[in-house]
Amino acid sequence: MTGYNRVLLKLSGEVFGGGKVGIDPDVVQRIAQEIAEVVQTGTQVAVVTGGGNFFRGAELQQRGMDRVRADYMGMLGIVMNCLALQDFLEKLGIDTRVQTAITMGQVAEPYVPRRAIRHMEKGRVVIFGAGMGMPFFSTDTVAVQRALESRCDIVLYDKSGVDGIYSADPKKDPSATKFDELTYDEAISRGLQIMDQTAFTLCSENKLPMIVFGMADEGAILKAVRGEKIGTLVHPG
């Protein structure tokens, strides 16, 4: 095993829907199984999900909806993903807590960093929902902020549709090459768009490493935690 005692897993909303609107139970079950395998090794796990399989605030805004209201709708979509993941994890015997940035006491706890840490110390998976609880923040930024506040060792960043960081978009440029490892400075100098700029800056300034990988590879989460060669490791250098 690596030295990762506590990890934060960032999952895209698209992965929950299997590329479609809504939730694909088979996909969520597979994700839950992979997280369960990690928990059973003794590694503490927190999760942040996106909500793109339901709503994207920026896209709804383009269609004429008020951005603030659209973003709040996106946060509610995220909570639906959180509850689905919680259900599948608990069916596997993994004790799980959902903490939300918007108060919704009948379905989740409020976000309290110290309580989240305590849950993880007891072996529970903590799923952070409802984004930052404020509009205009991406779930990339939420993931990094939650990782820092709950003192995670690394962010495991599921990049929908790719298996790591490339020199160019591999879907558009067949000559694009994949990086196994990068420093934050190298990523900046190459102009690589890894994640939301605010999130990237937070990671870089706080020297929080991340592994960018794709969930298409079976057992990807466990491989990342074990330190196996998967995706791209981005580190302070």
DSSP 3-state of 212: strand
Q: What is the pTM of this model?
A: 0.93
Q: What is the pLDDT of residue 1?
A: 46
pLDDT band at 229 (very low <50, low <70, confident <90, very high): confident
Mean pLDDT value across residues 119-134: 96
**Which two three-digit tokens encode residue 101?**
């940035």
Q: Is residue 18 left, alpha or beta, with left meaning phi > 0 and alpha meaning psi from -120 to 50?
A: left
Whether pLDDT at 3 is above 70: no
Q: What are phi and psi of 152, to 5 degrees?
A: -80, 155
pLDDT beyond 70 at 18:
yes
To the nearest 5 percent, what fractions of the chain are helix, strand and coil? Answer: 40, 20, 40
pLDDT above 90 covers what percent of the chain?
66
Instruction: Report the percent of the chain where pLDDT is more than 70.
Output: 97
Nearest Cα residue to 98 out of 144, 143, 43, 47: 47
Whole-number Å distance between alpha carbons of 82 and 69: 20
